[in-house]
Amino acid sequence: MADNAKLIVEGKTYEFPVLVGSEGEKAIDISNLRSETGYITLDNGYGNTGSCQSSITFIDGDKGILRYRGIPIEELSEKSFFTETAYLLMYGELPSEGKLKSFSERLNKSSLIHEDMLHFFTGYPKGAHPMAILTSVVASLSAFYPVKDTLDPEDEEIIIANLMSQIRTIAAFSYKKSIGEPVVYPSNKLKFVENFLNMMFASPVKDYSLDPDVVKALDMFFLLSADHEQNCSTSTVRMAGSSLANIYSVIGAGICALWGKLHGGANQEVIEMLEHLRDTRTSPTAFVDAIKNNKGKLMGFGHRVYKNFDPRAKIIKGLCHSLLKKPGLNDPTFEIALKLEEIALKDDYFLSRKLYPNVDFYSGLILKAAGFPINMFTVLFAIGRVPGWLAHWREMRHDKHTRISRPRQVYQGPTRRAYVPIQDRK
């Protein structure tokens, strides 16, 4: 605990405690601000507001640092894999060999969804967006897997395994529905990512050949997506979860929040930008010049938190290099992306504004090379982010200080006025 912060309001001095996080972050605890002063704070977009205390993920945007439970993302990307990292996020420590095996087996056993849920998929029109299907089917899981009002540790384990595993199955079934193909059921013989790829791209008349490099790239995409502190969708999960809503509807709310071009849909916009430059044969230099003249926007650059290079972008850029060099996977849009990055990182227009490539600038290229259509990009992001959402939900459930979220507002509408009968209205 540090010294108190003093606030002077209408000549009166108030003191509020200052909290210091384990990484030196400082926060003024204004929980009693309104009750003591009658004032509230206004912080559009919550850019300066801490909504909770958490021990899951640490970000230092100025230095380009990202750590899951204290472990740098660079180390995890080099030494770990998605399901192990998911366990770390969920339970705070890397699993022993036995615990990892048990966790993986539970994920495999949870991969099937109730057979009656297939009626959901047949009810959607062909071509329905996979995200539209995903959001509604995930929220409907509670009808097939009822959630108790009071959860014991075993109940939590079941829910975590169900959601982490079944979202892959729902995502793959959603895709199959969107292209008019029959679903491919999960297999206990395949690992997490391999299983998902097989459900996506195999069919009753065609086997899918698993490429180890594609498996590794998708696993890394999931790992890098697994958590990112109090972003829009995670904050949505915490807010919805604070009402004690069932976990399936809570995760459904997170998926809905993710489905926006300013959040989970950003990598789709990057691909569309790069393909536009390719199709119109616009040179990267000319495109950058147009942006500097306010005639365009460079998608995939800049970040709400990072004012330095996004550490995830460095990792995924390396994956792009290795994956897109493979025969048959070379993509001219990757060369355009590299040229745009080269120009922007030498231009004071971008440097002075601290606009560096973020993870979305390269992640779409990897997903495209792996064979995923653009409308599946946000779905894939959701699969990767589920462990983080669940970790925050679990942390919140066990935090004795958790209260139902209820932000205040500064009202700017009309003051009191009388009702006017319809015949007297102009």
CATH at residue 43? 2.20.28
Looking from the CA of 275 toward its CB, the CA atoms found within 13 Å total 10
CA distance 119 to 96: 40
Q: Look at residue 120 and tell me whether its pLDDT is greater than 60.
A: yes
Q: Are residues 121 and 239 in the same domain?
A: yes
Q: Is 303 a catalytic residue?
A: yes
Q: Look at residue 84 and tell me whether its pLDDT is greater than 60.
A: yes
Question: What pLDDT is stored for residue 330 in this prediction?
Answer: 75
Task: Give 259-313 pLDDT, tens digit per residue.
Answer: 988 888 888 889 999 999 999 999 999 999 999 998 888 888 888 888 877 899 8
Total number of domains in the chain: 3
Averaged pLDDT for residues 352-363? 88
Task: Give 38-77 pLDDT, tens digit per residue.
Answer: 999 999 999 899 999 999 999 998 899 999 999 999 999 9
CA distance 4 to 28: 8
CA distance 238 to 242: 6
Task: Give 373-411 pLDDT, tens digit per residue.
Answer: 999 999 999 999 999 999 999 999 999 989 999 999 999
Angle 62-67-70 from CA coordinates, rounded to 5°: 125
* Residue spans of beta strands (DSSP E) within 205-267: none
Q: Are residues 224 and 318 in the same domain?
A: no
Q: Look at residue 1 and tell me whether its pLDDT is greater than 50.
A: no
pLDDT exceeding 70 applies to what percent of the chain?
100
Residue type, 183: V
Q: Are residues 310 and 343 in the same domain?
A: yes
Question: What pLDDT is stored for residue 315 in this prediction?
Answer: 93
Whose tokens are 């909504």? That residue is: 51
Query: Is this prediction's pTM over 0.85?
Result: yes
Which CATH number fits the domain that encloses residue 283? 1.10.230.10
On average, the pLDDT of the chain sits at: 92
Averaged pLDDT for residues 212-216? 94
Handedness of CA 208, 211, 212, 216 (dihedral sign): negative
Question: What pLDDT is stored for residue 2 in this prediction?
Answer: 55
CA distance 1 to 10: 27
- 174 belongs to a structural domain: yes
Task: Give 23-49 pLDDT, tens digit per residue.
Answer: 999 999 999 999 999 999 999 999 899
Q: Are residues 217 and 314 in the same domain?
A: no
CB 248, CB 144: distance < 8 Å? no
Which CATH number fits the domain that encloses residue 382? 1.10.580.10
Question: What pLDDT is stored for residue 394 in this prediction?
Answer: 96
- Residue among 303, 310, 331, 392 flagged as catalytic: 303
Q: Are residues 165 and 287 in the same domain?
A: no
- 158 belongs to a structural domain: yes
Q: Are residues 138 and 222 in the same domain?
A: yes
Nearest to 393 by CA among 163, 234, 253: 234
Handedness of CA 170, 175, 181, 184 (dihedral sign): negative
Q: Is 29 a catalytic residue?
A: no
- 415 belongs to a structural domain: no
Question: What pLDDT is stored for residue 377 in this prediction?
Answer: 94
The secondary element (H helix, E strand) that includes residue 65 is strand 65-68
- 408 belongs to a structural domain: no
- 403 belongs to a structural domain: no
- 75 belongs to a structural domain: no
Annotate 183-199 with b (16+ C-beta within 10 A) or e (fewer): bbebeeebbbbbbbbbb
Residue 6, strand partner residues: 15
Q: Are residues 212 and 289 in the same domain?
A: no
DSSP strand pairing (12-16 vs 5-9): antiparallel
Q: Are residues 310 and 250 in the same domain?
A: no
Residue type, 171: A
Task: Give 149-168 pLDDT, tens digit per residue.
Answer: 889 999 999 999 999 999 99
Q: Are residues 202 and 248 in the same domain?
A: yes
- 147 belongs to a structural domain: yes
Q: Are residues 248 and 108 in the same domain?
A: yes
- Domain boundaries, position 19: 5-65
Distance of CA 401 to the CA centre of its chain: 25
Our CA dihedral for 21, 25, 31, 37, rounded to 10 degrees, sits at: 140
CA distance 393 to 253: 12
The least confident of 182-191, 312-321, 387-396 is 312-321
**What is the chain's Cα-based Rg?**
24
- 413 belongs to a structural domain: no
Question: What pLDDT is stored for residue 261 in this prediction?
Answer: 83
Q: Are residues 238 and 277 in the same domain?
A: no
pLDDT exceeding 90 applies to what percent of the chain?
75
CA terminus-to-terminus distance, the chain:
61
CB 224, CB 359: distance < 8 Å? yes
Please return the burial class of 35, using the count of CB atoms within 10 Å of its CB with bins 0-12, 13-18 and 19+: exposed
Our CA dihedral for 217, 220, 225, 229, rounded to 10 degrees, sits at: -160
> 246 or 266, which is more confident?
246
Q: Are residues 136 and 159 in the same domain?
A: yes
CB 181, CB 130: distance < 8 Å? no
